[in-house]
Structure 1
């Protein structure tokens, strides 16, 4: 009874504590504690989450009487640390005196936005573990470079309420990243601020190009080119790509890495004054292209973010690593100085170029220029031209017809005939991200193209871009709605884009190339897609005397070395079967760990049909080429068929008959295996007593299983190993067997040595060995197999 009362007491304590925690956590504790989430419950009348923050909430914190969640949480923590909720006052020393966070400092404004979504039945089922005892509330806060954002969510069975509270510097203040706090700045009109920042020429011309009502529109972000940028534009008025091309001002004494600097003070441009931007130098529409409704701090933007200008066009923001600071571009114009507040709550960013007016896609620009006829045709053949007209982020290194003519006539002809080469070649000219030329400094950039190849890009002393080994830009930063175009003076031809026949010639596979031409395989090889070719070495071809074969036999041999499935070495696993062009003939892959590979980091040895791959993964067009050390031969029979059809294995066949192993070999239930087949001479060396013991089918079955390795082990896959790197294989009767190489042409398996290796079969392979591995009488303490023979005698097999 005492134990029962005690149990009830602990149960009461547990339930009470659970209710307390649940009410505290799920905002259901009582009025005296709901202040922790009071900020969440007072936002019922605010606009949706994706709307602009309402103006009357954008007040400095010092003017607000309403407590917020963070302040209440801090007060609760202070109470706890000073003896609150039952803690002794002696623990008050735990309270830390910390520096006030910037978002609680001066010149900080807060905006709040709420979104309410009605829950469906599936939402309720998904969230039910959290709301089974009432409302569930969750809160997360994050600190960005210029904002402190707290997101609060309250779940109930009926709805999900999301509230976002944003702390940021008030209008007229900027965050000083040295002190970490918001500081008041002297705000001036757009034209005066621009003049102080060295952008007076464009600001002066805006009165002619832009209506006064636009200039006075509140909460506007303006990208304004520097005087240097205006002068450079006037000196190099574009005759082609007039609206799309970016003309950058020279870097001068300032490093490009100052592009994202957020200085409180600013200095004017000290460059020599040149003719002002006036007349018909630009259109009013292009001038409007520099104005974006809304306030955008450059540090709050993301890479590839799209801003909508006041006239409905787009400005693409890109961010890159610099030597010391990030490099930021707007429509590929480099942002040199950022985040300058102007009157009417606006923001001004200074760029090194007049922003292009984006109305066309990459496809549109290429199609409108006659110098890209071949490039357009090749892109269409590769099914890529349509992609370049779709939304996305692309960098295209466009090749003119004159540049394509720099290729040899044979190469051009092969490219025009072989669709696979065209696809690989054209993908090498396209990068699936926007890379603006103005963002390249001293750093070398390596990126992957659509073809998967690495492409190296670096800026030259002439301010052009060196792309790969042979290509250099003649025009950069032609900006489109879905990326940017750079014109290069030479096609980018990676090794993987060259035709198969060119790869054969360059890799000194001339004998194999001649055989392909003789058999009529060369032209089809250049046009084929997704193939794998195993090319024997010149020495192997000469040894096999393939040049003496007639045309039909030669075609059959070549077909065995080719697969219509592209397989790289990284995909080659042990016992992988690769289909060849010969009907019903597959190539077996076997892999072997090199002795000590674990300690020296060597890749496993890979073999195909017991031929070693000596050069891997040479890619040509869509074809993978591997060099091997032997000419491949087909597997024409199974192991059981080989035993039946080879007269030199008659004794083995005799021993195998009527054993259970016979049926397993016949139905292939053992899987891919290696048979160590004793020769007739090996059986001739058995004594009369040993032969007599083998008359028992159980003994014969167990003996033969000692000669079966439960995997495919090619002789050349066995290395020269010594302790502690000795190799072992498992036999079909469950024992381990040491394996080591004896000489170049022979391998020792346990007690027997190979006389002839690697006779391929469809279910494995056969090695002819010089000895029958009979069990030897050893100590009874070892492993033993005991059974009763047909005469009732007890037989013990030891050492199996």
Structure 2
């Protein structure tokens, strides 16, 4: 069984020596044959039993050494042999051989290449697997013209077993199958076996029988009696003539017995999760599941918990299960279509094109809301679901899990699993033992088995976050202030009904800052509406889809939002910072119906000016405005051909230490001024919020339009440096870029301009006028 199985893997690649006849010397096949002849006892024909030959070899090689040391060695060998139970007595060995002929010219499958590689010998690959009840070794030998696989399985012979999966194989008392059923609590099932004359069959063949305990059989009979009473009443009301078969179970006693019988021996220690067995009844399936338990694994067969396993009889094994297992012959979608109480659910599945998945996927769990669950919903939303609207596909996928979950797998503690949306779905048991799914959806009919999974009928439609309207998502994430602003702007219906929407939501802390609060309170309804619209964009962009320099269209007409991704060079490719319009994105991917919300650290305001207009209109940038006037870069900015960019604007105060003559030269020489301005323009959006502290020797750099790089850093005081300048007022968003105020102009070296100078050409080909030379 997977939960208890351990693996001992040995892989050997060794060319075998060929004999004169061209055959290998002592082959693995001969070894396997010699093992097979030992029958039920590995040690017969081996003098002294396990460990003794090794001890004799030790004495032969090291005769005369200290006897105590020899005894210690002998004891170690003996203990090791005892642990290797498959070498002990009462172990039967099964050997299976498979030979495949190889075509030397066949290169498509790669076999030809392998044969050419070993054309002068053979290669042998061996691996062994150890589980509590078996030791299996597989050896594959590749030769020039054939591949041979030999599988040797060691396990306790029939009538012997390892007690509690420990120690050697010891003899156990074997009883006839029907007598064993009586002893393990299956007297009612045994009575049924005898009533249909199947005792001889169970004693004459190697079989595995899943025996429902007495309580399970009685409960099944009571349910069948109650069901038949309901049918009887209905037929009497309809004046139908009753026949003697009216009280018969849907499953005849013979069929019921056969549905619990498996041909061959199935050791519970060896079954795998989601393994499919087939019963003697029309080959109907029995799905085995293995779940982690608090102390030991929980194993189920068609969701019936196995209470007692591997009980040996004279003809096979008996496993006691907690309920009667009905034949399983239909897929999930076939069962849903056939169940009257699931007609609405079935219709919605059809409209959403999910039926094929439920017929083809090998193992799924469906928490199917019944008609009553849909009728309890608000009529408008229910009708949208029936029409395939309102993110119904996300709702349906929240009710489907891509593996089999039986009620027995859920203890009294709360558990969670992942649905087809990739969202968490909680599972727990209430005080009565009923399985509760998600937001208090109680299971009314659990563990309805299909050939490809299980159905649990629940009494409530479970809404995932990914199917909820945006307003509900924001309410649950406590963005109450933003919701109040949306409501005040009369845009609640817009954010709930717009599909393919991304919303950037300012944090509660940022909205409640005094300056921001005062600004919002002073806004007219029209201005507030523009602000809210500016924070929404299309299309829907999840964090995994964000890229640097991504531009999305804001729902405020004529406006765009730019997303930037910035990485810390100390951890290349990791810990990327994302910003939108220089507001840092601090939480991501709150998904609603056709929408996604990301939390940002400040309010965004729609820009009303270009960067050039911003400089010209700002009273603290008059000197920089005079320098830029009449330059080529001014024309390019006016035409909108330099987007996107970052403008580092020196304040008027920063020019006070420059001699007046030098300053006049900057204003009058437009070639010089053009170069000066381009040195202050970075080729991309660079936000102060994205500049991180870095450790030497790592640096952040950005290229400017003058063709050189500018070092960016954040100091220990949190100030952002652009080269030798410090940003004094960051992240002023313009229509075509972002503007930062800096405390000194970025001048050619030497740092102070002086009258006179010479022109030189730098390595990039740019002509630069150097002053003070």
| Structure 1 position 214, deviation (Å) | 3.0
Say yes or no: does 1:352 pair with 2:322. Answer: yes
Matched ranges for 1:712-727 at <5 A: 712-717=685-690
Pairing partner for 1:393 from 353, 360, 363: 363
In the alignment, which residue of structure 2 is the partner of 1:380? 350
| Structure 1 position 399, deviation (Å) | 1.3
Pairing partner for 1:28 from 8, 11, 17: 17
Say yes or no: does 1:339 pair with 2:326. Answer: no
CA change 1:80–1:135 in 2 (3 A) is: farther
In the alignment, which residue of structure 1 is the partner of 2:90? 107
CA change 1:535–1:514 in 2 (3 A) is: same
Whole-Å separation in 2 of the counterparts to 1:716 and 1:214: 79
Aligned positions, number: 698
- Secondary structure at 2:280's aligned position in 1? coil
CA change 1:672–1:498 in 2 (3 A) is: same
- Secondary structure at 2:411's aligned position in 1? coil
In the alignment, which residue of structure 2 is the partner of 1:158? 145
1:136-168: per-residue Cα shift (whole Å, max 9, x none)? 111111211211111111112322111111111
1:627-680: per-residue Cα shift (whole Å, max 9, x none)? 44334647997x799999999665443586499x989x9986xx9652203367
In the alignment, which residue of structure 2 is the partner of 1:222? 209
Are 1:57 and 1:112, in contact at CA under 8 Å, matched by a contact in 2?
no
Q: CA RMSD in A?
A: 5.2
Pairing partner for 1:325 from 296, 315, 331: 296
Say yes or no: does 1:677 pair with 2:677. Answer: no
Pairing partner for 1:182 from 169, 172, 175: 169
In the alignment, which residue of structure 1 is the partner of 2:374? 404
In the alignment, which residue of structure 2 is the partner of 1:480? 450
Whole-Å separation in 2 of the counterparts to 1:402 and 1:605: 48
In the alignment, which residue of structure 2 is the partner of 1:169? 156
Whole-Å separation in 2 of the counterparts to 1:623 and 1:502: 12
Q: What TM-score, normalized by structure 1, do the two folds share?
A: 0.73
Matched ranges for 1:416-565 at <5 A: 416=386, 419-503=389-473, 507-508=479-480, 509-511=482-484, 513-514=486-487, 521-522=494-495, 524-525=497-498, 528=499, 530-535=500-505, 542=520, 545=523, 547-548=525-526, 558=533, 561-565=536-540
Pairing partner for 1:131 from 118, 125, 132: 118
In the alignment, which residue of structure 2 is the partner of 1:264? none
Are 2:224 and 2:249, in contact at CA under 8 Å, matched by a contact in 1?
no
In the alignment, which residue of structure 2 is the partner of 1:589? 563
| Structure 1 position 586, deviation (Å) | 5.3
Whole-Å separation in 1 of the counterparts to 2:302 and 2:228: 14
Whole-Å separation in 1 of the counterparts to 2:589 and 2:307: 45
- Secondary structure at 1:492's aligned position in 2? coil
Matched ranges for 1:196-275 at <5 A: 196-209=183-196, 211=198, 214-237=201-224
Whole-Å separation in 2 of the counterparts to 1:684 and 1:172: 102
In the alignment, which residue of structure 2 is the partner of 1:118? 101
- Secondary structure at 1:630's aligned position in 2? coil
Whole-Å separation in 2 of the counterparts to 1:549 and 1:699: 42
Whole-Å separation in 2 of the counterparts to 1:742 and 1:633: 30
Whole-Å separation in 1 of the counterparts to 2:258 and 2:144: 49
| Structure 1 position 723, deviation (Å) | 11
Matched ranges for 1:306-321 at <5 A: 306-311=276-281, 312-321=283-292
- Secondary structure at 2:276's aligned position in 1? strand
Whole-Å separation in 1 of the counterparts to 2:404 and 2:647: 59
Whole-Å separation in 1 of the counterparts to 2:744 and 2:195: 102
Structure 1 residues 229-238 or 105-114, which shifts more?
229-238
CA change 1:382–1:428 in 2 (3 A) is: same
CA change 1:655–1:214 in 2 (3 A) is: farther
Matched ranges for 1:510-659 at <5 A: 510-511=483-484, 513-514=486-487, 521-522=494-495, 524-525=497-498, 528=499, 530-535=500-505, 542=520, 545=523, 547-548=525-526, 558=533, 561-568=536-543, 571-572=545-546, 574-578=548-552, 587-591=561-565, 606-613=578-585, 616-628=588-600, 629-631=602-604, 633=606, 650-653=625-628, 657=632
Whole-Å separation in 2 of the counterparts to 1:136 and 1:640: 76
1:590-629: per-residue Cα shift (whole Å, max 9, x none)? 356899x99xxx9765421223446532221242112443
Whole-Å separation in 2 of the counterparts to 1:692 and 1:79: 103
Are 2:537 and 2:552, in contact at CA under 8 Å, matched by a contact in 1?
no
Segments of 5+ residues of structure 1 without an aligned counterpart are 1-22, 47-53, 85-90, 243-277, 780-784
Q: What TM-score, normalized by structure 2, do the two folds share?
A: 0.75
Segments of 5+ residues of structure 2 without an aligned counterpart are 1-11, 63-68, 230-246, 753-757
Whole-Å separation in 2 of the counterparts to 1:607 and 1:419: 33
